[in-house]
Amino acid sequence: MTEDEDISDVNGRQCIVTRESGSVDDLIRFVAGPDGTVVPDIKRKLPGRGCWVKAERIVLEKAMAKNLFARALKNKVTVPDDLADQVDRLLAADLAGMINMARKAGEFVSGFAKVDSAVRSGKAIAVLHAQDAADDGVRKVGQARKAFHMLAETDEEIPAYRPFSAEEMVKLMGENGFIHACVLAGKAGEGVVKRARLLERFRSLGNAQGRRVQVP
């Protein structure tokens, strides 16, 4: 193993804040760019030594406040003030891109009637709503999820996520935005669920400034 190889990738991934180990679905990787600026590596493909932070915004903000990146990356680094916002935007864009792939693969459908049908038939593996979707529509889809859960006697209900506002979706996906949508089984569909879960987890505990990150 060379000096530049990332030992954490070989021996397991550990959050630099909580010191807890986890899978790539629970952690976000960071590296130092050529100029020493800390960069989020959402797709885990950037070269060089990396470090990992639990995929929760409040944990990342602790890493920033305590300047833990320099020690973890074993280098003098610059931590951007908007690093947490960068991660939020990258996770949102990554989810939007996977939604577009799933749609092309026939594993993502939108529209209340199609969603209701897919949920009741058991074809849906997850449901997505716009953050500003009408409460009545969300409630009716929720009733369909509960009805399938009871009839199928499954251990868990079909999960539901509300990742984007309508405004964000226009910026991220243009005409492919949705109010109600559902994910169907398949490789791309499973990728959507994984990314929706990650984005929700990152945002779940809010942030120190109490603001909602907007897509530029």
Q: How does pLDDT run across 145-196, given as a tens digit for each residue?
A: 999 988 877 778 899 999 998 888 889 998 889 999 999 999 999 999 999 9
Q: Cα–Cα distance between 203 and 216 in angstroms, integer?
A: 17
Q: Cα–Cα distance between 22 and 96 in angstroms, integer?
A: 25
Q: Cα–Cα distance between 204 and 198 in angstroms, integer?
A: 10
Q: Cα–Cα distance between 1 and 21 in angstroms, integer?
A: 22
pTM of the model as a whole: 0.86
What pLDDT score does 205 carry? 58
Q: Which residues, given as ranges, of the chain have pLDDT below 70?
A: 1-12, 205-216
What pLDDT score does 82 carry? 97
Measured between its terminal Cα atoms, the distance across the chain in Å is 41
What pLDDT score does 7 carry? 39
What pLDDT score does 2 carry? 36
What pLDDT score does 131 carry? 94
pLDDT in tens, 49-59: 999 999 999 99
